[in-house]
Amino acid sequence: MNRRYRKLRLEKRNRLLELAYIDPITGLGNYNAYLERTKEKLEINSKKTIIILDIDKFKTFNKKYGHMKGNALLKRVGEEIKHVIRKTDIVCRLANDVFGIFLVGEVDVENVTERLNSKISRINIGDIWYNLRISMGVYICDKNEKDVQSIIDKAIMAHDSVKGKYHVSYGVFTEEFEQKMIRESEIENMMEEAIKNKEFEVYYQPQISTKTEKMEGAEALVRWKKDENRISPSEFIPIFEKNYFIKKLDEYVYERVCENIQELKKEFKEIPKISVNISKESLIDSKFLEKYEKIMKKYDIMPEEIELEITERTTVNNDIDIQKILNEVKQKGFSIAIDDFGTGYSSLNMLEIMPIDTLKIDKSFIDRIDISEEKTNFIEIIMFITKKLNLKTVAEGVETIEQVKYLKRWNCDLVQGYVYQKPLKFEELKKYIKGDKM
C-alpha cells in the first residue's frame, strides 16, 4: 500500500515536471527547460554555441494548412534539428515557431547552419513535402559567460539582423555587431528630438540633361547635422526603416520640398522637377496619399511638379499589392521613378506592369562601364528596354566625363553625380538655377 502510494506520488510529480518542462507539441523541452539545461552546460569548460532558429511566415503556413498541420510541422522541424545536432547538445522549442539550440564543443558554424537549412527548407509531413525558409541567429559564447538570458539575447539580436533578408539564412553576433547595436540605439534615442530641433535639412542634387546640358531635375536628399557632426543617410535611413520612424522623416522631407518648390516658383519661370525618396514603409501606409496630397495643397503644389522615387526593392513584395498602390499614386498625377534599378531582383515584367515614368540606373552599373573594350555593357540593354517602354532614364553616381560621354551616346536622358554637382543646400540650388539661366 505504502509502496503503491509512493509510486503514485512519484508519477504525479513527474507529470507536473513534464508539464513545466516539456513542450507537448514537439515533445522537446520548453523555454524553462532550455534555461535550466543551458545553464548547466555553461559550466562545462569547452566551446559553446547558441543558435536561435525560426520559420519564416509560420503564421501563413498555419492559416493556409490549419493548426493540426502547423503543429505537425513544428514536430518535424524539431526532429530534423535533432538529426543535425549531437546527443549531448540541446534543442528546445522556446515559443511559437522559435527553437533554441545549444551546441557544446567545437562547431563549424557554416556547416551546421547549412545542414539545418537544407534539412528544414524542404521538409515532409507524411508524404507531402513543403518548402520553407528559416532564419538563424548564432552566438559563440565567451568562456566566462554564465548569464543564460544575455547569451539568448545576443543570438536573438543576430537573428533579428537577418530576419526578412533574402539570400541570407543566418547571422553571427560579433563585437562589431554589438557596436552596431549600441550605435543603433543611440540614433534611435536622438531621432525624435532631431525633428523638433530641425536637425534634418533637405539638400538637392541637380540632374543634367545629356541633350541640353541644363538642369532638368533635382533629387531631394536628407542631411542630418547633430551639433557639429554629420550622420550619413546610409547609416540612419536603414535604422529608421526598421523602426518605422522613416514615415515621419519622409513626410517631413516631403513637406520641406513642397515649401521649397513654392518658393522656387515665385522666383523662377522654369524650375527643375524635384524628386523625393519614399521608403516602402511610407508608401504602404493606408493614409499615404491622403497625407501627401494635403501637404501638397498647403503649399499650392501640383502633383505633376513632383516625382516620387521608389526603390526597385519596394516593388518586389508578395504580401502587398504595390502595383495597386502605385496605380493610385499615378492616377493622382505624381510621376514615379524606380530607384536603384538593377539591384533589387525584380523581374523585367515589373517595368511593363507598374505605372512608372523614370528609371534610375544604379551607380554600380555606372561604375562598371567599360569604355575601352568593345563589349556590351549592361546599360546598353537597359537603354534598349527603356526606350521600347518609353521610360525616362537617369544615371546615378556619375563621376567622370568619359561616363557622361558614354551615357550621352546611348541616349540616357539625365545624369546625376559628382561629375556635375554634389547635393546642394537650398540656397545654393537657387544660385545654381540662376547661373543656369533657366
Interface residues toward ligand C2E, by CB under 6 A: 205, 221-222, 232-234, 237, 246, 250, 253, 277, 279, 339-340, 396-399, 417-418, 423
Residue whose CB is less far from ligand C2E, 158 or 239: 239
Angle between helices 245-267 and 288-298 (to 10 degrees): 30
Burial class (CB in 10 A: 0-12, 13-18, 19+), 427: exposed
The whole-angstrom separation of Cα 206 and Cα 417 is 8
In the complex, least distance from residue 250 CB atom to ligand C2E, rounded to whole angstroms: 5
The entry of Ca ion, ligand C2E, none near residue 90 (CB within 5 to 8 angstroms by kind) is none
In the complex, least distance from residue 264 CB atom to Ca ion, rounded to whole angstroms: 20
Cell numbers 521610360: residue: 391
In the complex, least distance from residue 214 CB atom to Ca ion, rounded to whole angstroms: 21
H-type alpha helices, 305-425: 312-315, 322-332, 348-353, 363-367, 378-389, 401-409
In the complex, least distance from residue 343 CB atom to Ca ion, rounded to whole angstroms: 9
Residue whose CB is less far from ligand C2E, 339 or 413: 339
Residue whose CB is less far from Ca ion, 214 or 313: 313
The entry of Ca ion, ligand C2E, none near residue 221 (CB within 5 to 8 angstroms by kind) is ligand C2E
CB atoms within 10 A of CB 185: 11
Which of 277, 315, 358, 403 is the binder for Ca ion (CB under 5 A)?
277
Residue 340 binding Ca ion, by CB under 5 A: yes
The set of cell numbers assigned to 151 is 547569451
Residue whose CB is less far from ligand C2E, 220 or 264: 220
Residue 309 binding Ca ion, by CB under 5 A: yes
Q: How many residues bind Ca ion (CB under 5 A)?
A: 5
Q: Are 389 and 358 in contact (CB under 8 A)?
A: no
Residue 117 binding Ca ion, by CB under 5 A: no
The whole-angstrom separation of Cα 134 and Cα 116 is 9
Contact positions with Ca ion (CB under 5 A) in 135-164: none
The entry of ligand C2E, Ca ion, none near residue 237 (CB within 5 to 8 angstroms by kind) is ligand C2E
The whole-angstrom separation of Cα 429 and Cα 336 is 23
Residue 312 binding Ca ion, by CB under 5 A: no
Stretch that binds Ca ion, among 125-133, 246-254, 276-284, 401-409 (CB under 5 A): 276-284
Residue whose CB is less far from ligand C2E, 201 or 263: 201
Which of 216, 312, 339, 413 is the binder for Ca ion (CB under 5 A)?
339
Contact positions with Ca ion (CB under 5 A) in 388-427: 396
In the complex, least distance from residue 107 CB atom to Ca ion, rounded to whole angstroms: 40
The set of cell numbers assigned to 6 is 509512493
Q: Are 157 and 181 in contact (CB under 8 A)?
A: yes
Beta strands in 96-252, from DSSP E residues, in sequence order: 98-104, 122-125, 128-131, 134-140, 170-172, 200-209, 215-226, 229-231
In the complex, least distance from residue 207 CB atom to ligand C2E, rounded to whole angstroms: 10
Pairing relationship of beta strands 215-226 and 229-231 according to DSSP bridges: antiparallel
321-352 exposure pattern, b = at least 16 Cβ within 10 A, e = fewer = ebeebbeebbeeebbbbbbbbbebebeeebbe
Cell numbers 557554416: residue: 110
Residue numbers of the site for Ca ion (CB under 5 A)? 277, 309, 339-340, 396
